[in-house]
Homo-oligomer: A and B are copies of this chain.
Amino acid sequence: MIVKRGMNCQFAFSGSKKDFMLASSAIFRRQQFLIRSLGSCTNQTHQKRMQGTKALSGTSLEPDAEHILRAITPTLDRNKHKGMAGKIAVIGGCREYTDAAPVIKSYSPELIVHPVLEESYSVRDQDKLSISGKILAEVDKWMERFDCLVVGPGLGRDPFLLDCVSKILKHARQSNVPIVIDGDGLFLVTNSLDLVSGYPLAVLTPNVNEYKRLIQKVLNCEVNEQDSHEQLLALAKGVGGVTILQKGKSDLISDGETVKSVSVYGSPRRCGGQGDILSGSVAVFLSWARQHLSTAEGGTSISKINPTILGCIAGSALMRKAASLAFQNKKRSTLTSDIIECLGTSLEDICPAC
């Protein structure tokens, strides 16, 4: 089904300011350590990075993620109305995840859920063509209004369902709608690379295993830990300039032209579902980055950077900061829902609303 949501619907306040300040200073100390530890990053370039825009030069491996986040986040304006900060659709959920639509809807009245996707078990072969046609018509009604699609979370791997999703991807691409692909969406595109190959508005967010499969399929080799940056660059180039956010200890991002790293201290807890927050956050900031570039006067160092890269950097930084804050409070019991509760505080800390 499709879930539409406002740009900030997943952000919620949690923890007192005091807690956060403590967390923040601890994070900062660890950041300093991490940054100093980065072989490719001398103290001199670290100084540069801390100077904001200068840190965005193509030569800097670790850009000032918080500066980028601040730069692309739209100001709140009383003259704006609902929808002007953008609209995101998540294409995900399937029967395997418990007839997802009513369940997802019951999580929050903020979510608009369209139960349109069907699976093989409920469709006779002779009806498949007409039904996939109806599904596509239903999605097309909304396509033009979307500022970004997130494709994959909880989709499952039903052949008929994935066939419908492939068609949705083609239509999104025709309409120049940015697409963030995660989870089962990565299973789909790894087996059908032409769905995203050469589309500059596509972002793939693979975890360790999904990255392995991508490397094997595109570069026909194993993952190489030593030359990870060069391999990621080659992978992104191999898929025709699609942006890839490789999740890990540090998040590595490449569009085939450059490689960026986000090492903001996150959480050592590896609870399921963090990838869903990341893909959602990347979708938000990617849309905001494109909005920023369409309005910003040219010539700023940010406006020279690929907006999909900017979106990945900002989304990764916010996610890691929120995860770190959640871990400060919940330690080993940290759940993804705890991280969601920390997104608002983390965003406010980086980019105060007013």
| Cβ-defined contact, B82 with A207, below 8 A | yes
A11-53, CB < 8 A from B? 11-13
Q: How far is the CB of A133 from chain B (nearest CB, A)?
A: 16
Q: Is the CB of B8 within 8 A of A76?
A: no
Q: Are A6 and B96 in contact (CB under 8 A)?
A: no
Closest 8 CB pairs of A and B: A333-B344, A11-B333, A76-B268, A331-B353, A98-B105, A82-B270, A98-B113, A106-B106
Chain A's interface size range is: 35 or more
Nearest chain-B residue to A100 (Cβ)?
B105
Instruction: Find residues 168-200 in chain A having any chain B CB closer than 8 Å to their own CB.
Output: none
Which residues of chain A have a CB within 8 Å of any CB of chain B? Answer: 6, 8-9, 11-13, 76-85, 96-99, 101-110, 112-115, 207-208, 248-249, 266, 268-274, 327, 329-338, 343-345, 347-348, 351-354
- Contact among B12, B109, B334 for A333, CB-based, below 8 A: B12
> Which residues of chain B have C-beta atoms less than 8 A from A327's C-beta?
353
Given contacts A80-B270, A98-B113, 5 further A-B contacts (CB under 8 A): A13-B329, A77-B268, A81-B208, A82-B270, A98-B101
Q: How far is the CA of A269 from the CA of B334 in the complex (A)?
A: 27
| Most B C-beta atoms less than 10 A away, residue of A12, A114, A208, A333 | A333
Chain B: minimal CB distance from A241 (Å): 27
Asked if residues B108 and A337 are in contact (CB atoms below 8 Å), the reply is: yes
The answer to whether B108 and A105 have CB atoms under 8 Å apart is no
Which B residue sits closest to A115, measured CB to CB? B98
Inter-chain contacts of A85 with B (CB < 8 A): 270
Q: B8 contacts A271, CB within 8 Å?
A: yes
21 contacts between A and B (CB under 8 A): A6-B271, A6-B272, A9-B335, A11-B332, A12-B333, A12-B338, A13-B329, A76-B268, A79-B249, A80-B268, A82-B207, A98-B101, A98-B102, A98-B113, A102-B106, A110-B272, A110-B273, A110-B336, A269-B353, A331-B344, A333-B343
Q: Residues of B contacting A337 with CB < 8 Å?
A: 108-110
Q: Is the CB of B103 within 8 A of A332?
A: no
- In the complex, what distance in Å separates the CA atom of A102 from the CA atom of B98? 6
* Chain B residues near A354 (CB-CB < 8 A): 268
Chain B residue contacts of A207, Cβ below 8 A = 81-82
Q: Taking the nearest CB of chain B, how far is it from the CB of A82, in angstroms?
A: 4
A335 contacts across to B, CB distance below 8 A: 8-9, 12, 108, 110
Q: How far is the CA of A132 from the CA of B229 in the complex (A)?
A: 49
Contacts of A99 in B (CB 8 A): 101-102, 115
Residues of B within 8 A of A338 (CB): 12
Q: A99-B102, A347-B333 are in contact. Are A109 and B110 (CB under 8 A)?
A: no
CB closest chain-B residue, reference A79? B249
Q: How far is the CA of A120 from the CA of B208 in the complex (A)?
A: 42
Known: A102-B103, A106-B106, A109-B273. A348 touches B331 (CB 8 A): yes
Q: How far is the CA of A85 from the CA of B268 in the complex (A)?
A: 12
